[in-house]
Chain A
């Protein structure tokens, strides 16, 4: 089983749609969770941190379910500029700052 596993993509959605990405992680001791965004041929950039039961930032909502070892990212009212790869990332605190990345889910928002 992969340490961090994400929905296989790509997701192709029209502008204005709501889209949800799912992620599961294998280490039950993991404490910190993140969503990173990576544009084509660019470096990953932090989109959201998920420290407790979840949080919201504008059109983006991240949810965490520790019992199921599951993280989700919801994007409402999709914009063309949301097109990118979304990386689910887990920090295993017992290893300091080491981040474990999922393989990423590609999103393409069409007009």
Chain B
């Protein structure tokens, strides 16, 4: 079974530029998550989708970050404009159904390592 796919794997941009990340979850997984992991810290949830609807975006800095999952499958996360403190690994994860305890397990993609200079 194919895992969670993400691209690009690495990105270097200058502050104030824009960047977009793409995620393709495991086939059939209804719930998709975007996390930000800053060096030395655990992942922090940015946004959670259930199919194509947003379940939780309370920690998404909406002045500069946006995310969409238009057809309930692939998702994109955008940062515009980027700041130095956005340097981090952006992880996408998916789960079968986030509302069922038996299917809580989240599978993570390899992440996109963003460096903002």
Contacts and interface: CB of A to CB of B under 8 A. Distances in A.
Interface of A: 4, 31-32, 42-46, 49, 87, 89, 91, 93, 95-104
A96 B48 CA distance: 10
Interface residues of B, number: 24
Given A44-B43, A93-B101, A104-B42, A99 B106 contact: yes
Given A96-B48, A97-B95, A97-B99, 11 more contacts: A4-B42, A44-B108, A45-B108, A46-B106, A91-B104, A93-B101, A98-B45, A98-B48, A98-B56, A103-B40, A103-B42
Contact of B104 (A97, A100, A102, A103): A97
B31 A97 contact: yes
Contacts of A44: 43, 91, 108
A34 to B, nearest CB: 8
Contacts of A42: 110
Contact of A102 (B42, B45, B98, B99): B42
Contact of A99 (B40, B45, B101): B45
Contacts of A102: 42
Interface in B8-44: 31, 33, 40-44
